[in-house]
């Protein structure tokens, strides 16, 4: 697996817990939906992060949530502009197939920072026939929402009534049937993915049309 050093261009704070780390592209090639391993070049410690940026951008971006007692996320947050980090990849197969890139109806379902691959999809491919459900606690966690068409996104907020829907994405799905011909992409915690998969299968969505990426 290829490894290269990339210079930090910016650390962009989004909320007290989340930030974007922007790196120089350095000829890194990937398909939207893939992830990479970010490593401390001195210690070799690393973590996997989905790529947030468009494949068309000159820089490479990752959405990170700072975890309490998470040494690596704190390491990323306090990197200095101009310092270097090692990137290994790309990896993963959570990418759009030809049918999804065509006229087929596509449903993206994300929780929290699981929005990353969908942000990469939306900014890389401008003609997708998609609808997005993004489940967060608070409305200010609608990371990168301006990248999505306003009439194609439903922000589900579980701890305040300031989104498009007050409640979890699973509540929304139980109240709003999904057409069985929809191709569904799920990214988030394992509990959400398991519950949403069950709901979609009950609606008649074929297992091969439910694609998942688990964020632990």
Say yes or no to pLDDT of 125 above 90: yes
pLDDT tens figures, 51-101:
999 999 999 999 999 988 779 999 999 999 999 999 999 999 999 999 999
Q: Do domains 3-91 and 98-214 have the same CATH topology?
A: no
Q: 115: which residues sit within 8 A by CB, 6+ positions away?
A: 63, 134, 143, 144, 187
Domain map of the chain by residue range?
Answer: 3-91, 98-214
Average pLDDT over residues 14-31: 96
Domain covering 3-91 assigned CATH 2.40.30.10 in the classification: yes
- CATH T-level fold of 98-214: Rossmann fold (3.40.50)
DSSP assignment of the chain equals --EEEEEEEEEEE-SSSEEEEEEE-TT----TT-EEEEE-TTT--EEEEEB-S-TTSSEEEEEEEPPTT-HHHHHHHTPPTT-EEEEEEEE------HHHHTTS-EEEEEEGGGGHHHHHHHHH-TT--EEEEEEESSGGG-TTGGGS-GGGEEEEESSSS-SSEES-HHHHHHHSPPPTT-EEEEEE-HHHHHHHHHHHHHTT--GGGEEEEE--
pLDDT tens figures, 146-162:
999 999 999 999 999 99
This prediction has a pTM of: 0.95
């Amino acid at each position: 697996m290829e490894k290269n050093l990339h210079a930090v261009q910016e650390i962009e704070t989004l909320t007290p817990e989340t930030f974007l780390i922007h790196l120089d592209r350095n000829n890194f090639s990937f398909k939207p939906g893939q992830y990479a391993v970010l490593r401390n070049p001195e210690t070799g410690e690393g973590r996997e992060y989905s790529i947030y940026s468009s494949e068309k951008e000159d820089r490479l971006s990752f959405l990170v949530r700072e975890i309490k007692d998470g040494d690596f996320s704190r390491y990323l947050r306090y990197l200095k502009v101009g310092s270097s980090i090692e990137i290994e990849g790309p990896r993963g197969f959570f990418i759009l197939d030809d049918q999804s890139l065509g006229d087929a109806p596509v449903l993206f379902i994300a929780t929290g920072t699981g929005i990353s691959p969908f942000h990469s999809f939306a900014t890389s491919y401008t003609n997708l026939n998609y609808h997005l459900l993004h489940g967060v606690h608070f409305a200010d966690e609608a990371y990168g929402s301006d990248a999505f068409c306003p009439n194609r996104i439903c922000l589900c907020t579980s701890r305040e009534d300031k989104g498009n829907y007050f409640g979890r994405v699973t509540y929304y799905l139980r109240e709003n049937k999904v057409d069985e011909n929809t191709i569904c992409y799920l990214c988030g915690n394992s509990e959400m993915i398991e519950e949403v998969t069950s709901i979609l299968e009950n609606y008649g969505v074929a297992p091969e049309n439910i694609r998942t990426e688990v964020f632990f």
